[in-house]
Amino acid sequence: MFSFCTDPSTLENFQWVACYLTTGKHLNLYYAFGTVLLLLAITAPIALGFGFMGATAARSSIAPLRWLGKGYTSIVRGVPDIAFFLFFVIALDQAFEYIRHRWKCPDWTDPIRQGNDFLVCADAKLPLSNAAQWLHEVYGFSLAVLTFSIVFGAFAANVLFGAMRAVPRAQIETGEAYGMTTRQTFWRIMVPQMWVYALPGLSNLWMVLIKATPLLFLLGIEDIVYWARELGGTKTPRFTEYPHGDWRMWYFLFLLVFYLGFTKVSEVVLDRIMLRLTHGQATTGGEAQRKAA
């Protein structure tokens, strides 16, 4: 990175640190922070969407739809995250490949499972085995986003389901008295008002989601935990320009500070959203704001 980095063994402390922290390997660590933030930015809205659909389905008057919504939330909420992650990513990948296989190679006669091997034709591989490495990474990342969204969507569905029921019945009846249809009372009265009841639960979920991002590591994505462990490990002089002892503790401490800082920022932002949402609401929070004004 810097011009003086050619022979690190001769450098003074400060310069050594500057060179050490800008090796290609460390850049991978910084890049991994971006991956984690991107995961959160994409997963949160998708999970909320899944949650909204799950909650609406669970309230539906059509029985099969209701069963689907209830089944989704109770099954996913009941299975340990890690088990779900490990199972789902492999199963999802093989399911996608199987579907593509049936569609793209209808005249393939060999069995798909040969002993331990899961074999689909070359055209059905996802991503194609000759695809660039970044495509493989994007695919793995997308599977992770989908899995995170399904898991956290189930929790969000439960929160939103409760929030919808918490909107006072009288509000909806008033809407009906004005001649609104069920659809209209849902979109114009219930949905705008439910957020204030949903937010404490959703903000809790957001915190859990932030803390769950190291699970990416389990899914084979080289996230910050992977790089912290790799960079912190003992480095012997034969294999690196920057030999050092076991520094994993310091790297993990850095991760700890990062996560703590990130959750703190989230708390501040969520508090402000809560303040806005309670404004003018017939809740204790809204009442307190009215009295203070």
Partner 1 sequence: MKKLVLTTAALALTAGVAFAGSHSVVRMGTEGAYPPYNFIDDSGEVAGFERELGDELCARAELTCEWVTNEWDSIIPNLVSGNYDTIIAGMSITAERDEVIDFTQNYTQPDPSAYVVAAGNEGLDVKTAVIAAQASTIQASFIAGMGASLIEFATPEETVAAVKAGEADAVLADRAYLAPIVEADGELAMLDQQELIGGGVGMGLRESDGDLRAKFDAAIQSMKDDGTLNALIAKWEIGEQF
Residues found near partner 1 in the complex (CB under 8 A)? 23-25, 27-28, 90, 93-94, 97, 114-120, 122, 125, 129-131, 133, 136, 220, 222, 229-230, 233-234, 236-243, 245-246, 248
Q: Tokens standing for 52?
A: 């909204």
Specify the residue, 120 or 150, whose C-beta has the smaller distance to partner 1: 120
Please list the alpha-helical segments (H only) found in the chain. 13-20, 24-59, 63-78, 81-104, 133-166, 169-177, 182-185, 191-212, 224-232, 248-278, 284-292
DSSP-assigned beta bridge partners for residue 235? 244
Residue indicated by tokens 């439910």: 194
Cα separation of 145 and 37, whole Å?
12
Minimum gap (Å) between residue 78 Cβ and partner 1: 25
Minimum gap (Å) between residue 33 Cβ and partner 1: 15
Minimum gap (Å) between residue 132 Cβ and partner 1: 8
Specify the residue, 66 or 229, whose C-beta has the smaller distance to partner 1: 229
Cα separation of 32 and 256, whole Å?
15
Cα separation of 101 and 112, whole Å?
9
Minimum gap (Å) between residue 81 Cβ and partner 1: 18
Minimum gap (Å) between residue 209 Cβ and partner 1: 23
